[in-house]
Chains A and B, each alone.
Chain A
Amino acid sequence: QVQLVQSGAEVKKPGASVKVSCKASGYSFATYGLSWVRQAPGQGLEWMGWISAYNPNTNYAQKLQGRVTMTTDTSTSTAYMELRSLRSDDTAVYYCAKGHNWNEPAFDYWGQGTLVTVSS
């Protein structure tokens, strides 16, 4: 069965960087892209961006351009999301999610989420 397993919770200081991993299994990793979605405490969902698993194509949310980098390692079927220059309002649960089309936020499988806390 399809599974997306994410790395564990992180606590970071303002200005630092965080890198969250998402290991995929149960499907052909290179066939589909992966998106990242975050959710601040008590808030709604926010689309962060998408990365193809079979070429270097990415598409990042405008508000995160310059601070976020998404990468994949096809040898281990793992996707990564790095967010730099962290601020307190980056505190959120970060999810990776699998979809079928890069320009359609219809995600049929999600990771369990990774809590990133930014605090001095």
Chain B
Amino acid sequence: QSVLTQPPSASGTPGQRVTISCSGSSSNIGSNTVSWYQQLPGTAPKLLIYNNNQRPSGVPDRFSGSKSGTSASLAISGLQSEDEADYYCAAWDDSLNGGVFGGGTKLTVL
């Protein structure tokens, strides 16, 4: 199982706001920044959020990130059909001295 814990699935209807959680520990999320990725089927992951809540240029402001203690969240507002994808959180782990990912959350737009 993954070091970072995400729900396996999430869903919402167009226009809704959905959040995806990512739970870790003091050695990863508790002491390092969190990134979020979107992965469409058959493609490489795309960076959505870095440094907990920063968006790379080109990422819509419908996507936002937050972190509190040893947990982080990705929020998607104004849900669109093209948001249907897998979402992963990531952080550095000081104990493992390496990067760690969540197991991924499959978002379905109903």
A110: B residues at CB distance < 8 A: 44-46
Nearest chain-B residue to A108 (Cβ)? Answer: B47
Q: Which of A44, A62, A105, A113 contacts B44 (CB 8 A)?
A: A113
- A interface vs B, CB < 8 Å? 35, 37, 44-47, 49-50, 59-62, 95, 103-108, 110-113
Chain B 86-110, CB-CB to A under 8 Å as 1, else 0, gives 0010111000111111111000000
Instruction: Say yes or no: A105 contacts B101, CB within 8 Å.
Output: yes
Within 8 A of A (CB), among B44-100: 44-47, 50-51, 56, 88, 90-92, 96-100
Distance A111 CA – B44 CA, assembled complex (angstroms): 7
In the complex, chain A residues whose CB is within 8 Å of the CB of B92: 103-105
The A/B interface has a contact count, at CB < 8 Å, of 66
Q: A59-B97, A113-B44 are in contact. List 14 more A-B contacts (CB 8 A).
A: A37-B45, A45-B88, A47-B100, A61-B99, A95-B44, A103-B92, A104-B50, A104-B92, A105-B92, A105-B101, A106-B50, A107-B47, A108-B50, A108-B56
Whether A45 pairs with B47 at a CB distance below 8 angstroms is: no
Query: Closest chain A residue to B33 by CB distance?
Result: A104
The A interface is mostly helix, strand or loop, or mixed, namely strand
Task: Tell me whether A105 and B102 are in contact (CB under 8 A).
Answer: no
Contact A47 B56 (CB under 8 A): no
The reply to whether B96 and A46 form a contact with Cβ atoms under 8 Å apart is no
On whether the beta carbons of A44 and B98 are closer than 8 Å, the reply is: no
B32 interface hit (Cβ, 8 Å)? yes
A57 to B35, CA, bound (A): 23
B33 touches A45 (CB 8 A): no
Contact B98 A45 (CB under 8 A): no
A101–B51 CA distance with the chains assembled, in angstroms: 11
**Chain B residues within 8 Å of A59, by CB:** 97-98
Interface pair B90/A45, CB less than 8 Å apart: yes
Chain A residues with CB under 8 A of B50: 104, 106, 108
